[in-house]
A and B are shown apart, each in its own frame.
Chain A
Amino acid sequence: DTEVTQTPKHLVMGMTNKKSLKCEQHMGHRAMYWYKQKAKKPPELMFVYSYEKLSINESVPSRFSPECPNSSLLNLHLHALQPEDSALYLCASSPFSTGGTGELFFGEGSRLTVL
């Protein structure tokens, strides 16, 4: 079982809705990540938080707003999304704040459908 927990597992929202994806880990990891994965494609990095501070934003549109309330939690707030934003959103954590070996621990993802 994954030690990174993501909720909800499935989310359907309209383009005018506001929703949030949540991620939680209790492994004491200090780096947390959001990835977006389209069908049959590799995960693409969106955001990285290191020690609860945003360290990387891969030019993600402002309709995606990340938040790291504490070292165990990571949220992704969604507003005014487009149908092309439909994808699997993966959260990951790492014990290394500066990349390390690259071993990330992934959650099972939140599958988002935007109507």
Chain B
Amino acid sequence: GESVGLHLPTLSVQEGDNSIINCAYSNSASDYFIWYKQESGKGPQFIIDIRSNMDKRQGQRVTVLLNKTVKHLSLQIAATQPGDSAVYFCAENTQGAQKLVFGQGTRLTINP
């Protein structure tokens, strides 16, 4: 079936370095791709999304890249801070569909 998945379950980076979290998806009909951040004991929090007709979108310290050719999505976090420690989920949604499908998640840990 259709699925959204992540390449790495865990990622450790040095504080101040840039982080790159990857995601592979299989549903070519998805219209939106979204990144969520989930801190321990909290619900997922929206970070940034990108529409399928775009290949890059930037936010505050975050950039999402979409490569539809290879069905790959990535989240780049600049100057990673301790507060960035969390599990990051990619998700996809087809406009008109109310089902948001989450990938397996990557745990990001920050080394001081």
Contact = CB atoms under 8 A, between A and B. Distances in A.
A108 interface: yes
B100 A102 contact: yes
A22 to B, nearest CB: 15
Contacts, number: 74
Contacts of B69: none
A103 B46 contact: yes
Interface string A39-64: 01111110010100001101000000
B43 A98 contact: no
Interface stretch (B13-21, B60-68, B76-84, B86-94): B86-94
A5 to B, nearest CB: 11
Chain A, interface size: which category?
20 to 34
Q: Dominant SS at the B interface?
A: loop
B75 to A, nearest CB: 15
Contact of A108 (B41, B93, B104): B41
Interface of B: 32, 34, 41-46, 49, 51, 89, 91-100, 102-105
Interface of A: 2, 4, 31, 33, 40-45, 48, 50, 55-56, 58, 90, 92, 97-109
